[in-house]
Amino acid sequence: MLHKLAKQLIADGAPLMLPEVVAEYGGRRRLVRPAVTIRPEGAALEPGLDGLRPDILITVTGRPLLVEVAVTHFCGPEKLALIQERRLAAVEIDLSRVARDASPEMLEHAILRSAPRRWLWNRLAEATETAMRAEAARRACSREATLERLGNALIVAAASPTVEPADPRLTWAVEATRDAGLEGAVGIAVDGDGCFVVAREIWQSHLVGRHILGGIPLDERTAATSLYPVVRGRFAEPRPDGFEWQVITGRFPALRQPCDVVVDYLRLLGLMGLLVRDPGGLWRAGRAAVVARDRRQAATAHRIGHRKAPARNGGK
């Protein structure tokens, strides 16, 4: 009954609200035209269109428009595919939630204006989606070119010669590491370590001195924080040119974020027994670190004693 009423109202030429025309592509949504009210210039109920039978075929400003009325059954995939293949403007009105016992006025309002409705095919939406697809392709091409330039610049930077550290604490860390007999734990090549502007022995000695000899616990998430003064320019940026490091590394495997390089190095120290991970996920000095500390203290004491000896001899 509702289905028949809806078809008759529309076919009789009552003003009909058409939904807004919206184009969507790649997660973007663009309003092409707001909802409009039209008055059919002509109508035919369930006409045969070479294997396609719409509920109503109306004419709007000289153009045909198919109208489907859904009460218990919506437009099926085969019919929808045929509509889109033939590029026939078509709209579907959803009356499935309209109360059957509503007043005639409420039924009429729902059919002509308030019930949900959607475009099954619309030439303006298709044209706009085609334009959006082309825009997306241009953006992707531009983004690809930007990524290529960024990657090449980072590769050149990573291959640049290292420099001597300006911070005396880094020099102290190298000396302390040697005193502790941990020369074999530093100067180790780690994938992507060109992100550091100083030699491997220097930045690795800093971590050894601070967290193994110094005993300061270390969180992997902030592992590289203390090393940022010796990170090469753009490697210190969280998102160079707007790219996530995962994207950069995926395209250029030799390029890695400093924190990832440090994490790999910490795991190597863990294999050596110099660091262990506690239940909370923090890295702490391991048992092997105790021996290294004792060795360093002995070396320091010997050095101090050696410096004092000439002074005592000179006093006699």
User: Beta strands 90-94 and 63-70: pairing type?
Assistant: parallel
pLDDT in tens, 222-245: 878 889 999 999 999 999 999 999
Q: Of the ranges 43-47, 99-103, 111-115, 151-155, which one carries the lowest mean pLDDT score?
A: 99-103
- With bands split at pLDDT 50, 70 and 90, how would you rate the model's confidence at 310? low
- Residue 101, both tokens: 């016992």
pLDDT in tens, 87-142: 999 999 999 999 988 999 999 999 999 999 999 999 999 999 999 999 999 988 99
Please count the other Cβ atoms lying within 10 Å of the Cβ belonging to residue 316: 4
pLDDT in tens, 247-281: 999 999 999 999 999 999 999 999 999 999 999 88
- Cβ 202 vs Cβ 176: under 8 Å: no
Minimal CA–CA distance to 115: which of 127, 128, 99, 133? Answer: 99
Task: Please tell me the predicted confidence (pLDDT) of residue 298.
Answer: 85
Element (H, E) at 32: strand 28-33
